[in-house]
A and B are shown apart, each in its own frame.
Chain A
Amino acid sequence: MTATKTIEVALSTSGLGPDGRPIRIPLGAEGLASAPPGLEPELEGEHMLINIGPQHPATHGVLRLVLELDGETVVRCIPHVGYLHCGFEKIGEYRQYNQIIPWTDREDYLNSMGNNVAFVLGAERLFGVEITERCRVLRVIAMELSRIISHLVWLGTTCIDIGAFTPFLWCFQERENVYKLLEGWTGARLTTSGTRVGGMIADVPDGWTDGLRAFLSGFPKTLDQVDRMLTRNAIWVGRTVGLGVMTPEEALNYGLSGPMLRASGVAYDVRKDFPYLGYETYDFDVPVGTNGDVYDRFLVRFEELRQSVRILEQALARLPEGPVNIDDPRLILPPKHKATSEMESMIHHFKLVMEGPRPPIGECYVPIESPKGEKGYYFVSDGTAKPVRWRIRPPSYVNLSAIPRMVEGHLLSDVIAINASIDIVMGEIDR
């Protein structure tokens, strides 16, 4: 490999362009994929088949990639998924709506609270109920905290893949702080099951918002640290710029969503385009890249972390008093002391637990902007307490399906960086 890269950048300088963003460093990325001809003539035309995964730390789960290599260059990539398939959708057809919520924790387990909220948003559309204002703001807080967790895990693990260890520790330290908050709220760190149709499992405990404020005051400092460490780091830039480029047309055609789509320059964010939970009333920006490469995906996700902090600050400022759950005994369990002392409440409790709430006949598809992209739940109800069909539209599944297009022509070592940039969670892909 004689293709040279020109890296003209001092480590950790803080140069900002006129738009306030870090200046991009042009690299000789066009020379990456082409091996010089005739280096070893006897090996020319010999292709090698290699297998990455399913048990490989850099595949972020049990993903298996079969790669055909010409030297070090990937000629063809055939992904295999399904090693974690558990049949969530099938099981959901045998469960009442509230009983499905624990399954939503376990698909995209980095965004469990976001999945819980997304699920009940769809179910509430199906039931035709309107949640309380406090619940709406609390759910926004839950979703943005999940986004922060997911992006931090993505950032940390991608750093490990590319060879940086320090930001990984910073990210996971901050992630731990968010998990402490979620644990104080729902009692669980990963498998939160924090929502119910018509409300939440519980209101936030006393003093919880102070903990969130403390997190929000410290978190941007960590982000600045990571920014200084990575954004203009010569190694980081050299290993990410120009890799896995998707043009805007391609990205749309392949069904990419979330940061993958926005890094390619398509400004599509479900929170802005099809708003839910009052996202249209929050003041936040949608970062959009231009090159559609791994580096732009990093920039987009990194900026989304800052925007999530903005949203969280606004949500905290407007968090109203009042009930969290709707006042509807057909959907919300009565308090325990009432269920054990009042006839009416006991009957409601019994019917809710034994029969479950019944939505009207109908169907709905409710998408949300999960950290991975457009996540949608599609419900079909025939009027009984269990859905006829519960479909998860998994964003990282569709994003991953474009990996052959992204890695073919690149070097084997770049496959790791490109695969990391997709931000896959195999629990969601295999379901």
Chain B
Amino acid sequence: MSANPPTAPGAPTFAIVYPGQPGDVAPVTPTQVPHRGGPANPSVDALRARFGAAIGRHEIVWGETTVYVARDQVAAVCAWLQADPTQRYEYLSDVTAVEYRDPMRPIEVVWHLRSIAYRRFLRLKVELPKDGSALEVPSVWGVWKGADWLERECFDMFGIRFVGHPDLRRILLWEQYAEGHPLRKDFPLRGRFSRAEQLRNALAADPEARYSMEELSITDAFAQLPEDMRKRLGGGARTGE
């Protein structure tokens, strides 16, 4: 139960602040920023000094710095970037992935980090080669709670497993969805199943499966279900994978 502190009488409760004077920040316009090259984000050198070989190449496109990180070091790198007083990347903008049309290129997992204090923007990338190995990266949920749904969406859309995420299940698609991961390039635009098959699947879905196992277990609802339903749900009939 979160007890909310009552407002102290007389304390200013609502303020208008100026985060920066006009002109503090140079606006990024194409005439000022080259397509390739330019000054790198100073965090790159700091990362190299701190993590050494775990930091791969970096590139600067349209003024934005991208750093490639070794897969197993991502969570450690993110934790350091967030906590270190010289970096302070306190804000996780986005977690997503990119699969290129070239089937030989690896899938990239992308993190967009933002340092509000230093007004920096950094993009981290991890390459996941498409050699049949598992698509797995460490979760950064322990660093930023905001990664929760972003990682779930990335798993939903690309099938990338975020190891260490507490509740990695589909989010935008339903849990029984059996057609795969839609944003993969081998996924056809109209889906894998025909309309007739999709309709058949929808009609055959268990209505009780709309509640997750966690929800059913909350109030002993699972124990009160009829025997056959318990058997079906407990046997994993509701998951599409």
Contact = CB atoms under 8 A, between A and B. Distances in A.
B18 A285 contact: yes
Contacts of A285: 16-18
A252 interface: yes
A142 to B, nearest CB: 18
A200 B112 CA distance: 29
Given A26-B6, A274-B121, A288-B16, A124 B30 contact: yes
B112 A32 contact: no
A130 B30 contact: yes
Interface in B209-225: 211-212, 214-215, 218-219, 221
B116 A273 contact: yes
Contact of A30 (B4, B22, B29, B187): B4
Residue of B4, B27, B93, B153 contacting most chain A CB atoms (<10 Å): B4
Given A29-B4, A66-B211, A253 B145 contact: yes
Given A26-B9, A78-B212, A252 B90 contact: yes
Given A82-B174, A378-B96, A19 B12 contact: yes
Contact of B183 (A78, A89, A125, A282): A89
A393 B15 CA distance: 28
Contacts of B27: 275-276, 278, 280
B104 to A, nearest CB: 13
Nearest to B153: A397
A180 B30 CA distance: 34
Contact of A81 (B13, B66, B172): B172
Contacts of B90: 252-253
Interface in A96-135: 124-126, 128-130
A124 B28 CA distance: 11
Contact of A85 (B8, B66, B172, B212): B172
A272 B8 CA distance: 30
Interface string B177-203: 000001100010100000000000000
A280 B2 contact: no
A272 B30 contact: no
Interface string A355-379: 0000010111101000000101010
Interface residues of B, number: 76
B57 interface: no
B100 A388 contact: yes
Contact of B64 (A19, A66, A365): A365
A87 B93 contact: no
A17 B10 CA distance: 9
B16 to A, nearest CB: 4
B93 A374 contact: yes
A315 to B, nearest CB: 15
A285 to B, nearest CB: 4
Main secondary structure of the interface of B (DSSP, over half): loop
A309 B144 CA distance: 35
Given A78-B214, A124-B30, A376 B93 contact: yes
B229 interface: no
Contacts of B93: 255, 365, 367, 374, 376, 393
B35 A82 contact: no
A81 B49 CA distance: 42
Contacts of A362: 35-36, 61-62
A49 B62 contact: no
A250 B144 CA distance: 9
A250 B146 CA distance: 10
Nearest to B62: A364
Contacts of B29: 130
B2 A409 contact: yes
B101 A289 contact: no
A47 interface: yes
A303 B215 contact: no
Interface in B29-58: 29-31, 35-36
A402 B2 CA distance: 15
Contact of B23 (A280, A405, A408): A280
B165 to A, nearest CB: 13
A25 B9 CA distance: 8
Given A253-B146, A364-B61, A401-B149, A24 B30 contact: no
27 contacts: A22-B14, A28-B6, A29-B4, A33-B2, A34-B1, A49-B218, A49-B221, A66-B211, A68-B218, A78-B212, A82-B170, A82-B171, A129-B30, A252-B90, A255-B146, A273-B19, A273-B25, A283-B22, A285-B16, A287-B15, A293-B4, A362-B61, A363-B64, A364-B64, A365-B94, A397-B153, A398-B150
Given A19-B12, A78-B214, A408-B2, 10 more contacts: A49-B215, A66-B215, A76-B218, A252-B90, A255-B91, A275-B27, A278-B27, A280-B23, A287-B16, A303-B16
Q: Which 9 pairs across A and B sit closest by C-beta, in order of nearness? A: A255-B146, A401-B149, A82-B172, A242-B4, A285-B16, A24-B13, A409-B1, A85-B172, A272-B19
Interface of B: 1-9, 11-20, 22-25, 27-31, 35-36, 61-62, 64, 66, 90-94, 96, 98-102, 110, 112, 116, 119, 121, 123, 144-150, 153, 157, 170-174, 182-183, 187, 189, 211-212, 214-215, 218-219, 221
